[in-house]
Chain A
Amino acid sequence: MDLSNINPILLIASIMISATPILLAALGEMVVEKSGVLNLGVEGMMISGAVIGFIVAINTGAPLLGFATAAVAGAVLSLSFGILTQVLLSNQVATGLGLTLLGLGLSSLLGKPYEGMKAETLPKLDIPVLGDLPVVGRMLFSHDIMVYLSLALVVAVWAFLKYTRAGLILRAVGESHDSAHALGYKVVRVRLLAIMFGGACAGLGGAYLSLVRVPQWTEGMTAGAGWIALAIVVFASWRAGRVLIGAYLFGGITVLQLNLQAAGLTWGVQYLSMSPYLITILVLVFISSNRSRSNHDAPATLGRTFHATR
């Protein structure tokens, strides 16, 4: 084993890239769950974003336009989930799973002609001064714009939920939709907006996979990333900062274990691969072991159907 082969600068740089798709998707899902809606369709929205972002980027040659379209596509797809669950009051778990199946099927249909093609990828930003710094320049300041956008989004979501009135309303809707309704807030409208935000984020995350991380379209390419995003939300106990930690931890461990293997470490790699899942289970056990704590963490009306006439 020769750990000196692992270059920490390159390692951290590749962790940041590797974690960005799940960070975006998990952040969106966190906002959705904060409003009291459980959308299990993250995987489906991600892969739809991946295929649509790729198709647009191929046809226009503009990857940023691909990202924008992927966000819109994710939002539109999630709106179908929103209408079904919020207006027509269907079961959220079943509808979310249905959305995943729809997304997987739709994406393989749309993506068929685009297999094996190569799209224009996002350029690395050339940040003056910062990018030229030794060590940190290569590590932190030489990524593409989406990496920074995802980090900015974490801060924005955190500030939105903590400091703005709209954020307070969203949390109120998630904690007690009946009270929020009694106060005159439009529960369904707030939730639809949250769902669309979640869809847009998942779409962006998917597009990051197909346009930057892998850069190509392959059927089924998200390979469960949407489910990991869902796990991260629970792991993060519905807080933006912890979503960031969770996503970088998941992404980081995957990259780290591959690097350790490449450096010659063979023992314990499997344990390292499964550690994020183990930690999530432990967090879940920890949350559910204490009633008062669980009340603080999960939005109280998560997954419950709201019917205004009651």
Chain B
Amino acid sequence: MIRRTLLATAAAGLTLALGAPAMAQDDPTKACFVYVGPIGDGGWTYQHHQGALALQEEYGDAVEIAYQESVPEGADSERVITQMALSGCDIIFTTSFGYMDPTNNVAAKFPDVKFEHSTGYKREHPNVSTYNARFYEGRAVVGHIAGKMTETNKIGYIGSFPIPEVIMGINSYYHHAKLANPEVELVVTWAYTWFDPAKEADAARAMLDQGVDVITAHTDSTAPLAEIGKEDGSAWGFGQASDMAAFMTNEDGTPGPRIASIIDDWSPYYIKRVGQLMDGTYEQIDSWAGMPEGEVVIGEMNDAIPDDVKAEAEALIASIETGEYHPFTGPINKQDGSAWLAEGETAKDGTLLGMDFYIEGITGDIPN
């Protein structure tokens, strides 16, 4: 009896699910997303998913979204992307650097499907576009804050992998910390992972144990902030990719370990691109937007930051947003002392995207 009811319900559900698309006049545009971590990472993947949800919100029934979480970079991702292309996706966003070759490989086989690869540089086929955000603009602002906030004059950076994206962030962070505080010294620790909360916490712990008191992370979880929080207000960190507002204020009302954050906001880009696809103006592009376009946002600064430093940070944000200041403006030398940017010269995008050197003052080598 119960079983029969269940079956009937299931059948009704199935009819509904199958019936709905058939009744629609046109097929909705299907936008698909490949995520490197779980949506619940509270950072990178979470923000991409927020962008996907904003896309759904914007166009309603005209757009259908689909996604897959925790897709390993490399060969596995090629299978996932192929599967998506076969399942009727019109546009596929692959949201991690390691999906670069798989995305291009699949794109060759599905010329009618649009592919958008995040943080990469390969566009081997006309249906592959790349998009990225100028995170180094955000790193400049938190670097300035870090330089002002450190008392030990040692600031830290948890790197994920030694790729240009991360090296650019390290250079920007250090450069602005140094401008704010000439005494500052940078410690870089490579975690060799995008997402492993325990290891990220260990990396933060290792630096804290060695006297580092301001840490920014280039990994995806909130674990470094939790570890910094154990220092009870003698060390500080930043939200990465997402606002991580849970760490802004402690339960007793004192300022929490997250003093500011760099937020990735992908929604303007996703809405724009899918909109273009629907109205037929879609073209292959290489997009690299930042704070002026609202793709990189600095989250609310908490009260651990003194008012004058807040004001300086606000001024820096404003000057980047209006485009009047480029975070890589000379004079900047390379690590070995050779000149990179002359006085007043700004970095070219090509150099930044292939960045494989530290700037002067950073100690240590970039691992291969």
- Footprint of B on A, CB under 8 Å? 1, 5-7, 10-11, 14, 18, 21, 108, 111-112, 115-118, 209, 213-216, 218-225, 254-255, 258-259, 261-264, 266-267, 269-270, 273
Q: Verify A269–B364 contact, CB threshold 8 A.
A: no
Whether A259 contacts B365 by the Cβ 8 Å rule is: no
Q: Is the CB of B246 within 8 A of A108?
A: no
Residues of B within 8 A of A (CB): 37-42, 70, 156, 187-193, 195-199, 201-203, 205-207, 209-212, 221-223, 226-227, 229, 244, 246, 251, 363-367
Bound: A264/B187 CA distance, A: 7
Min CB gap A61→B, angstroms = 11
Which B residues lie within 8 Å of A223 (CB)? 193, 195-199
CB atoms of A264 and B206 under 8 A apart:
no
Which B residues lie within 8 Å of A213 (CB)? 198, 201
Please determine whether B188 and A214 come into contact, CB atoms closer than 8 angstroms.
no
Chain A residues within an 8 Å CB radius of B70: 220
For A214, the chain B residues whose CB sits under 8 A away are: 197-198, 201, 223, 226-227
Asked if residues A218 and B202 are in contact (CB atoms below 8 Å), the reply is: no
Q: Which residues of chain A are near B367, meaning CB under 8 Å?
A: 266, 269-270
Beyond known contacts A115-B42, A218-B222: 7 more, CB 8 A cutoff: A6-B210, A214-B197, A216-B226, A218-B42, A255-B206, A261-B206, A266-B365
Cα distance, A42 to B100, chains bound together (Å): 33
Minimal Cβ-Cβ distance residue in B for A11? B209
Candidates B156, B195, B212; contact of A220 at CB < 8 Å: B195
A–B Cβ pairs within 8 angstroms, 24 of them: A5-B210, A7-B209, A7-B210, A108-B38, A112-B40, A115-B40, A115-B42, A116-B222, A214-B197, A214-B201, A215-B226, A216-B222, A218-B41, A218-B42, A223-B195, A258-B189, A258-B191, A259-B206, A261-B188, A261-B190, A262-B156, A262-B203, A262-B207, A270-B367
State the Cβ distance, A54 to closest chain B Cβ, in Å: 12
Residues of B near A264 (CB, < 8 A) are 187, 363-364
A209→B226 CA distance, assembly (Å):
12
* A116 CA / B207 CA spacing, docked (Å): 23
CB-CB nearest in chain A for B367: A266
Distance in Å: Cβ of B75 to nearest Cβ of chain A: 18
Cα(A264)–Cα(B189), bound, Å: 9
Is A117 in contact with B209, judged by CB distance below 8 angstroms? no
* Contact indicator B199/A218 (Cβ below 8 Å): no
Which residue on B lies nearest to A114, using beta carbons? Answer: B40
- How far is the CB of B135 from the nearest CB of chain A, in Å? 21
For the complex, what is the distance from the CA of A116 to the CA of B258, rounded to whole Å? 13
Question: Are B198 and A269 in contact, with the CB atoms below 8 A?
Answer: no
Say yes or no: B192 contacts A118, CB within 8 Å: no
Residue pair A219, B41 in contact (C-beta under 8 Å): yes
Instruction: Give which listed residue, B156, B190, B202, contacts A269 with CB less than 8 A.
Output: B190
Provide the bound-state CA to CA distance between A255 and B199, in Å: 8
Verify B246–A118 contact, CB threshold 8 A.
yes
Partner pick for B202 among A14, A117, A270, CB 8 A cutoff: A14
Contact A220 B38 (CB under 8 A): yes
The answer for the CA separation of A270 and B190 in the assembled complex, in Å, is 9
B-side contacts of A18, CB under 8 Å? 198, 202
* Chain A min CB distance to B162 (Å): 10
A112 to B42, CA, bound (A): 11
Cα distance A201–B197 in the bound complex, in angstroms: 21
Chain B residues in 8 Å Cβ range of A10: 209
Q: A214-B198, A219-B40 are in contact. Are A117 and B206 (CB under 8 A)?
A: no
Q: Which chain A residues border B246 with CB–CB below 8 Å?
A: 116-118
B131 to chain A, nearest CB (A): 25
A221 near B251 with CB under 8 A, answer no
Looking at the assembled complex, report how far the CB atom of A37 sits from the nearest CB atom of chain B, in whole angstroms. 27
Q: State the Cβ distance, B359 to closest chain A Cβ, in Å.
A: 16
- Whether B209 pairs with A254 at a CB distance below 8 angstroms is no
With a CB–CB cut-off of 8 A, which chain A residues contact B39?
219
Q: Shortest distance in angstroms between A150's beta carbon and chain B's nearest beta carbon?
A: 16
Distance (whole angstroms) from the CB of A229 to the closest CB of chain B: 13
**Given contacts A218-B223, A269-B367, A118 and B206 within 8 Å (CB-CB):** no
**How many whole Å from B74's CB to the nearest CB in chain A?**
15
Whole-angstrom CA separation of A1 from B365 in the bound complex: 11
Task: Please give, as numbers and ranges, the residues of chain B lying within 8 Å of A220 by CB-CB distance.
Answer: 37-38, 40-41, 70, 195
Shortest Cβ-Cβ A-B pairs, 3 listed = A219-B40, A219-B38, A258-B206
How far, in whole Å, are A224 and B202 apart by their CA atoms in the complex? 15
- Smallest CB separation, A47 vs chain B (Å): 11
Q: For residue B364, which residues in chain A have a CB less than 8 angstroms away from its CB?
A: 1, 264, 266
CB closest residue in chain B, given A224: B196
CB contacts (< 8 Å) of B207 on chain A: these are: 262
Given A14-B202, A14-B206, A214-B201: A261 in contact with B189 (beta carbons within 8 A):
yes
B40 close to A218 (CB less than 8 A): yes
- List the A residue with the shortest CB-CB distance to B205: A14
Nearest A residue to B365, CB-CB: A266
Residues of chain A within 8 A (CB-CB) of B156 are 262
- What is the CA–CA distance of A273 and B203 in the complex, to the nearest angstrom? 13
Q: Is A262 a contact of B189 with CB atoms below 8 Å?
A: yes
The closest CB in chain A to the CB of B159 belongs to A261
Report B253 CB to chain A, min CB distance, Å.
14
Residues of A within 8 A of B202 (CB): 14, 18, 254-255, 258
Within the complex, the shortest CB–CB distance from A219 to chain B, in Å, comes to 3
